[in-house]
Amino acid sequence: MPEGRIIAAMSGGVDSSVCAAILAGQGRLVTGVTMKIWDAQSPRDGGPGCCSMEAADDARRVCEKLGIPHYTLNATAPFKTNVVDYFVGEYRAGRTPNPCIPCNHALKFDYLFRQGAAFGAAKVATGHYAAVAEFRGRKTIAMGASLEKDQSYYLFSISPARVGDIEFPLAGFTKERTRELARTMGLPVAEKPESQEICFVPDNDYKNFVSTFPGGAPEGEGDIVTVAGKPVGRHSGYTGFTVGQRKGLGISAPEPLYVVAVDPAQNRVVVGGKDDLKSGALTASGANWLIPPEEFAGLELTAKIRSRDPGCPASVTILGDGRFRVEFAEPRLSVTPGQAVVVYHDRLVMGGGWIEKGL
């Protein structure tokens, strides 16, 4: 007998389409759901991104091919609140946001679970390259088999209570294998290119998006200064800069200069040499522990400070109020406020939080 109904989150791309196809091929009771998340009225407002109406049409055609129902849900309100407003607010605060992470926990693994009840579904499946595994009897997120495509970093903020009801059919796949299956199954999106942009900023012009978004305009021109406070140039808006940035500074110097801090309070950008980018530790807030810290105390841990970071041996100290400190075995470059730090034991996600600053 088939298991209970499961929602397949479908963006209209190859990964989510193969995810739905695998479940349907297993005889599961699958309902394909696409979230309309942004009103695509102009390039600034989103354009034909990964969750546009064009993408919903692609998902519908895949579901017709598979013989499963498909629905498009209007999720523009929760998406604006949890993702777009957050995105703009972080840049205004001098931090560098990662919108895919709140999109995952607030939309795919919160909104969809709540909406799934209307379809009689208690589980959600997505096309993420990640896995669900166990650590000492608790469910957690694990790296996918393909380290090149692994997306576990983006999933640290999922509620621990939800993990057991999530499925990742592509956990053991490479991207090449996924596309090969799409061709074999005759899915209409088999040759669809992979989206490389944030869905609501398809032209990748973050500075323009933030500056023209209501309430997002920066303070205007300001100084670019060295770590010693010496002015070396001017900027047209600090939201166009992120820690570690080298190109586009508009200044010349005998040695390469990098952004080492963004200071919205004084409307300035701080630059320095490569050594100024090194941090031996960081503090983070907004912790979400899939595994309670006391259960992984004393184990070998690694910490990743960006999605493609291979990770570095590290130790974790809990500070309270959702804050913690990570000490690295060796200095890390470009520890960026606003990005996530995710803590692993082997291939398993212990949890993570949002970087406050490098130390």
Given a cut of 60, whether residue 275 has pLDDT beyond it is: yes
103 an active-site residue? Answer: yes
pLDDT bucket at 45, cuts 50 / 70 / 90: very low
List every span in the chain annotated with CATH 3.40.50.620.
Answer: 5-127+169-185
49-62 mean pLDDT: 81
Share of residues in the chain with pLDDT > 90 (%): 81
- What's the pLDDT at 202? 64
Strand, coil or helix: what is 253?
A: coil
Buried b (16+ CB within 10 A) or exposed e, 103-133: bbbbbbbbbbbebbeeeebebbbbbbbbbbb
CATH match for 218-272 among 3.90.1570, 1.10.3470, 3.30.450, 2.30.30: 2.30.30
Given a cut of 90, whether residue 276 has pLDDT beyond it is: yes
Cα 235 to its chain centre, rounded Å, is: 28
Residue type, 245: Q
Given a cut of 50, whether residue 46 has pLDDT beyond it is: no
Buried b (16+ CB within 10 A) or exposed e, 4-13: ebbbbbbbbb
pLDDT bucket at 52, cuts 50 / 70 / 90: low
pLDDT digits (tens, 9 = 90+) for 14-23: 999 999 999 9
Q: What is the pLDDT of the chain when averaged over all its residues?
A: 92
Higher pLDDT, 45 or 238: 238
* 23 class by beta-carbon count within 10 Å (0-12 exposed, 13-18 middle, 19+ buried): buried
The beta strands (E) that lie in 144-230 are given as 166-167, 222-226
- What's the pLDDT at 287? 98
pLDDT digits (tens, 9 = 90+) for 111-149: 999 999 888 999 999 999 999 999 999 999 999 999 899
pLDDT digits (tens, 9 = 90+) for 219-236: 789 999 999 999 999 999
CA dist., res. 81 & res. 105, Å (int): 13
199 an active-site residue? Answer: yes
Q: Which of 50, 100, 103, 312 is catalytic?
A: 103
Q: Which of 51, 100, 199, 312 is catalytic?
A: 199
- What's the pLDDT at 50? 56
CA dist., res. 70 & res. 8, Å (int): 9
Fold of 5-127+169-185: Rossmann fold (3.40.50)
CA dist., res. 312 & res. 314, Å (int): 6
pLDDT bucket at 1, cuts 50 / 70 / 90: very low
Among 42-51, 168-177, 181-190, 274-283, the least confident range: 42-51
The backbone torsions φ and ψ at residue 192, rounded to the nearest 5 degrees and listed phi first, read -65, 130
Sign of CA dihedral 280, 283, 287, 292: positive
- What's the pLDDT at 262? 96
pLDDT digits (tens, 9 = 90+) for 201-217: 867 788 888 888 887 77
Helix then strand then coil, % of the chain, to nearest 5: 30, 30, 40
154-180 mean pLDDT: 97
- What's the pLDDT at 40? 52
